[in-house]
Amino acid sequence: MLTPVILSGGAGTRLWPLSRELYPKQLLALLGKRTMIQQTALRLGGLNATAPVIICNDAHRFLVAEQLRQLSLSPRAIVLEPFGRNTAPAIALAAMAALKASEDQDSVLLVLPADHVIRDVGAFQRAIQVALPAAEAGRLVTLGVVPQSPETGYGYIRRGEALVEKGQQGVHHIAQFVEKPSLERAQQFLDSGDYYWNSGMFLFRARRYLEELERFAPQIAEVCRTAFERAKGDLDFTRIDPKIFESCPNDSIDYAVMEKTADAVVVPLDAGWSDVGSWAALHDASPLDSDGNVARGDVLVEDSEGCYLYAESRLVAAVGLKDHVVVETKDAVLVAPKDRVQDVKKLVARLKEQGRYEHSLHREVFRPWGSYDSIENGERFQVKRLKVNPGATLSLQMHHHRAEHWIVVSGTARIVRGDEEFLLEENQSTYIPVGVKHRIENPGKIPLHIIEVQSGSYLGEDDIVRFEDRYGRKGTSS
C-alpha cells in the first residue's frame, strides 16, 4: 500500500510579496491554473496510491482543506503542527497518522513537499516505480534530481554502488550527503556525473522510518509519539498536543536519519524538477516569450529582456529592464535584479521587525468561509469587500465598538440580525447596530459578494464576541 505524505509548511519569505507567512507559495497558482499543492496531489494519479496524509501549519488548515476539496479529494488525515519543527518530526507524525488510518497496517510512505514543480509527471511516476521495491524491502529511498547546472543553492547526494538485490535495478547506495557547495565544487559535481540534487522526496515503510528515527533521534521519536497519542480531533483535522510538541528538536530528516542509517539509497529523477526557491527560479520554470520575459497579469513591456513581471491589481509597465523581477500586489511592490532575489528574505525580516502586517498577511485575508479585502479605511471607518463561498456562513457574533452596513453586490445573503432572520438580494442592504448579534450565510450556489462599511470608535479584528461558529474557531479571526 502506497500512502502519499504531502508536507505543506513554509514561511512564505522567498517569493514575497506574493507569498506571505499566512499564505505561502504552495497555496498559490504560480504555474498554471492549479496551486502548487493541488498540482502535487494531481501528479499522484495513476500510482495506485491511497488518499494522502497532509501535514500543515495550523494557520493554513482551512486553506489547505478548501484547495483539496476543489479537487474532490478527501485526505486520509490532515495533521496540524502547532509549530514548525522541520521535516524529521513532520514525517514522524505523518507515519503515525498513516498507521492509525490503516488500522496499524504498514504502508510505504511517498513523502513529497507541497511546493515543488515537476514538468514530466510520467518520468516522476517511473522513478517512484523504480524506488518502490527497495522501499518495500526496508530501504529508505530518496529521489536524487539529475542536475542540469552547477547550482549552489541545493544540497547534493553522491551516488555509491548499485544495489544488486533482485528487482531493485536503478537504485544506488548513498556514498555521501554534501552541503550546499561553492560554484567551483558544484561544477565539479556536475562534471563527475556521480552527484544529484537533494530533492527532499522520499519513499520508505512507515514502521521502518519510525524504527530508524527511534535509533538515531530518540528524543524526536518520543516527543512525536507522545504528542500524537494526545492529539485531538477538530472537524476533519488532527491537532497535535502543543505543550508536548514544543519540546521537539528542530531537525531535518537528512540530519536526523538519512545521513546516519545504513539503509539509505538513492534513485535518480530526471523530470524537470524545481523547488521554485526564488523569483529567479520561478522565472526559469515558467514559459518565456521571445525576449526571455515572463509577464503575468496586466503587464506592458517595452525593450526589456530576461524579466519576471507580475501584476495582481493594476497595470505594470516596464521599459529598458534587463534580468529584473517586478512583482505588484494590492499592498506591496517588489523590484529587484534577478541575481539579488535571495535577499528578499532580508526585506521580510525587516517588515517583521517593524511590526508591519505585510510580512504575514495580504490585504485580502482568507477565512474558512471565504475572504475579505480591506479596500479603504480612515478615521472611524473601514470599507471591506466580503466574498462568502456557497453554503458557507460566518460566525454568529457581535461587536462592542462598531456598527456595520451591508450591501449585497451579487448573490443572495441570509441575514441574522438580533431576533430577525431575512434574505437580502442583489442591491439590497441592511444595518447592524453596535452590540447586536448578527450573521451572514450564503444559501446559494454562487459566491456571495458584499460591501461592508464599518463605523465606530474601534475597528480592530479583535472586537468580536462569538456565540456560534461551525469552524470551531476562537480568538479574533472573523
| Inter-axis angle of helices 206-216 and 87-101, nearest 10 | 140
3-state secondary structure 412-429: CEEEEECCEEEEECCCCE
- Say yes or no to pLDDT of 125 above 90: yes
Please write the tens of the pLDDT for every residue from 55-79: 999 889 999 999 999 999 999 999 9
- Say yes or no to pLDDT of 107 above 50: yes
Q: Grid coordinates in use for 150?
A: 552547477
Distances (CA, A) of 83 to 87, 240, 241, 244, 247: 12, 10, 10, 11, 10
Domains and CATH numbers, the chain: 2-274 (3.90.550.10), 281-347 (no CATH), 364-468 (2.60.120.10)
Helix (H, G, I), strand (E, B) or coil at 319: strand
HSE on the CB side for 405, CA within 13 Å? 11
Q: Grid coordinates in use for 299?
A: 503587464
Distances (CA, A) of 226 to 7, 60, 249: 21, 24, 14
- Tell me 394's DSSP state: P
- Say yes or no to pLDDT of 477 above 70: no
8 Å CB contact between 324 and 338: yes
Helix (H, G, I), strand (E, B) or coil at 472: coil
- Say yes or no to pLDDT of 129 above 80: yes
454 CB-near residues (< 8 Å, 6+ apart): 381, 382, 383, 384, 402, 403, 404
Please write the tens of the pLDDT for every residue from 392-451: 999 999 999 999 999 999 999 999 999 999 999 999 999 999 999 999 999 999 999 999
CA distance 237 to 79: 6
Amino acid at 69: R
Nearest to 122 by CA among 49, 46, 35, 37: 46
Max CA-CA distance within the chain?
76
CA distance 107 to 87: 19
Q: Which residue has the higher pLDDT, 169 or 52?
A: 52
Q: Grid coordinates in use for 333?
A: 511592490
Q: What is the structure's pLDDT at 390?
A: 96
Q: What is the DSSP string of 86-146?
A: -HHHHHHHHHHHHHHHTTT---EEEEEETT-EES-HHHHHHHHHHHHHHHHTT-EEEEEEP
CA distance 373 to 324: 29
Q: Is 279 left (phi over 0), alpha (psi -120 to 50) or beta?
A: alpha
Mean pLDDT for 364-379 is: 91
CA distance 234 to 165: 45
Sort strands 294-296 and 308-311 into parallel, antiparallel or unpaired.
parallel
CA distance 91 to 9: 12
- Say yes or no to pLDDT of 223 above 70: yes
CA distance 281 to 404: 45
Mean pLDDT for 312-317 is: 97
64 CB burial (10 A radius; 0-12, 13-18, 19+): buried
Q: Grid coordinates in use for 229?
A: 497519542
Q: What is the structure's pLDDT at 9?
A: 87
pTM of the model: 0.89
Q: What is the DSSP string of 57-89?
A: EGGGHHHHHHHHHTTT---SEEEEESS---HHH
Nearest to 36 by CA among 121, 119, 120, 116: 116
Distances (CA, A) of 68 to 45, 52, 238: 14, 10, 16
Q: What is the structure's pLDDT at 70?
A: 92
The percentage of the chain sitting over the pLDDT mark of 70, rounded to a whole number, equals 99
Q: What is the structure's pLDDT at 474?
A: 59
Query: Which residue shows C-alpha cell 562534471?
Result: 191
Q: Grid coordinates in use for 244?
A: 508536548
Q: What is the DSSP string of 330-377?
A: SS-EEEEEGGGGGGHHHHHHHHHHTT-GGGT--SEEEETTEEEEEEEE
Q: How confident is the model at residue 11 (pLDDT cuts 50, 70, 90)?
A: confident
- Say yes or no to pLDDT of 130 above 50: yes
Sort strands 308-311 and 324-328 into parallel, antiparallel or unpaired.
parallel
CA distance 64 to 78: 9
Mean pLDDT (the chain, rounded): 94
